[in-house]
Amino acid sequence: MGERTTITAPDGGSFSAYVARPSVDKAPAVVVIQEIFGVNKVMRDIADDLAAQGYLAICPDLFWRIEPGIDITDQSEAEWKKAFELFNAFDVDQGVKDIAATIKAVRAGPQCSGKVGAVGFCLGGLLAFLTATRTDADASVSYYGVGIENRVGEAEKLTRPLLMHVAEEDQFVPKEAQAVLLQALANHPQVELHTYPGRDHAFARKGGEHYHEADAGQANARTAAFFKANL
């Protein structure tokens, strides 16, 4: 069971974050970057799983500037409508700054070893890519990020490892967009990129319509090995 903490935003104000702590006194940290459903049970469970693996996990509320405390699911039409409204209102650049503030705060905390990684899903997958290019995160993981194809030019700023999971049948990342990603990133020295044939968006979201246990397990095992090697 995790706890709540407060992060000071770079431009004033503050936002909450869910924190799951490992059993050890000092540990590397991982920032868990939300989907479009807020800091919900799926995100909290991911943070809890990371804590069980020995990481200090923190999941910031990135929608706080629009509406603090969003905690919805993907199980109803009304929630999907709300999620897309939040997505359309969200300022990606400001969100990356809030992630940078989260990295700074957790790195300065007494339980952090000094190493901080990030992992993001969906909207968070885009934000994880930008976290890798714009912050001092030590290693980042992007699951089925949406819109990365429009920002691949930022890959020239990559100086630390980035792991990417791409669903080949992603309804939100069409084949043309995937082609842009592969051409720009597949041979980048800092990028490890895996594609998952037959998988749709959010294939690693437990309880989701497109959840695929085997491929989610493979992606998560790759993520675990990546963090172990780099954090």
Residues in contact with 171: Cβ distance below 8 Å, sequence separation at least 6, in sequence order: 200, 201
User: DSSP for the chain?
Assistant: --EEEEEE-TTS-EEEEEEE--SSSSEEEEEEEP-TTBS-HHHHHHHHHHHHTT-EEEEE-TTTTTSTT-B--SSSHHHHHHHHHHHHH--HHHHHHHHHHHHHHHHHSTTEEEEEEEEEETHHHHHHHHHHHHS--SEEEEES-SSGGGGGGGGGG--S-EEEEEETT-TTS-HHHHHHHHHHHTT-TTEEEEEETT--TTTTSTTSTT--HHHHHHHHHHHHHHHHHH-
194 is catalytic: no
Which residue, among 3, 77, 85, has the nearest Cα to 38 in the 3D structure?
A: 85
Q: How many angstroms separate the CA atoms of 174 and 164, rounded?
A: 16
Pick the catalytic residue from 61, 98, 200, 201.
Answer: 201
170 is annotated as an active-site residue: yes
Catalytic residue among 74, 138, 170, 200: 170
Catalytic center residues: 170, 201
